[in-house]
Amino acid sequence: MVKKLLAVGLFFVGLACMSASAEDGSRLWLRQDIAAQATVCCKLQSATLDKAKEELRKSWQGGPVILELCYDAEHTALGKEGYTIKTLSDSVRLGASSEAGLLYAAYHLLRLQETGAALERLDIKEKPAYDLRILNHWDNPDGTVERGYAGHSLWEWNELPETLSPRYEAYARANASIGINGTVLNNVNASPNMLESGNLKKVKALADVFRPYGIKVYLSVNFASPAVLGGLPNADPLDEGVFEWWKGKVKEIYSLIPDFGGFLVKANSEGQPGPCDYGRTHADGANMLARALKPYGGLVMWRAFVYNPTEHDRAKQAYAEFKPLDGTFLDNVIVQVKNGPIDFQPREPYSPLFTAMPHTSLMAELQITQEYLGHSNHLVFLAPMWKEFFGYVRPESLRAVAGVSNIGNEANWCGHDFAQANWYAFGRLAWNPRMSSEDIAEEWLKQTFADDSSFVCPMKKMMLESHEAAVSYMMPLGLHHIFAWNHHYGPEPWCEVEGARPDWLPSYYHQAGKDGIGFDRSSRTGSGATAQYPDSLARVFDNPQTCPDEFLLWFHHLPWDFKMKDGRTLWDALCCKYEDGLQTARKMQAVWTEMKPYVDAERYGRVAERLDIQVNDAVWWKDACLLYFQTFSGMKLPAGMEKPKHKLKDLKKVKLPISNYERPAREMLP
Annotation says 549 is catalytic: no
For residues 547 and 228, give the distance between their C-alpha atoms in angstroms, rounded to a whole number. 49
Residue 214's closest CA among 256, 172, 255?
172
Helices (DSSP H) in 137-294: which residue ranges? 166-177, 197-210, 225-228, 240-256, 282-293
Other C-beta atoms closer than 10 Å to the C-beta of 419 total: 30
Could you say which of 131, 142, 240, 270 is catalytic? 270
**Order of strands across the sheet with 83-87?**
40-41, 65-69, 92-96, 83-87, 123-126
* Torsion-angle region of 551 (φ positive above 0: left; ψ -120 to 50: alpha; else: beta): alpha
For residues 358 and 394, give the distance between their C-alpha atoms in angstroms, rounded to a whole number. 12
Which amino acid does the sequence have at 611? L
Could you say which of 50, 156, 326, 343 is catalytic? 343
Instruction: Judge if the upstream peptide bond of residue 161 is cis by omega within 30 degrees of 0.
Output: yes
For residues 409 and 415, give the distance between their C-alpha atoms in angstroms, rounded to a whole number. 9
Q: End-to-end alpha-carbon separation of the chain, Å?
A: 55
DSSP annotation of 419 reads G
The phi, psi pair for 334, rounded to 5°, reads -120, 125
Other C-beta atoms closer than 10 Å to the C-beta of 3 total: 11
Helices (DSSP H) in 65-152: which residue ranges? 73-77, 99-114
Annotation says 371 is catalytic: yes
Could you say which of 371, 442, 468, 572 is catalytic? 371
Annotation says 131 is catalytic: no
The phi, psi pair for 558, rounded to 5°, reads -125, 150
For residues 268 and 456, give the distance between their C-alpha atoms in angstroms, rounded to a whole number. 46
Residue 445's closest CA among 596, 590, 599, 584?
599
CB of 167 closer than 8 Å to CB of 160: no
Name beta bridge partners: 84: 95, 125
CB contact set of 628 (below 8 Å; sequence gap of 6+): 493, 494, 512, 648
Residue 228's closest CA among 209, 211, 246?
246
Report residue 541 CA to chain centroid gap: 27
DSSP count for the chain of H helices, then E strands = 20, 13
Provide the pairing of β-strand 123-126 with 83-87: antiparallel
Which residues are known to be catalytic?
270, 343, 371
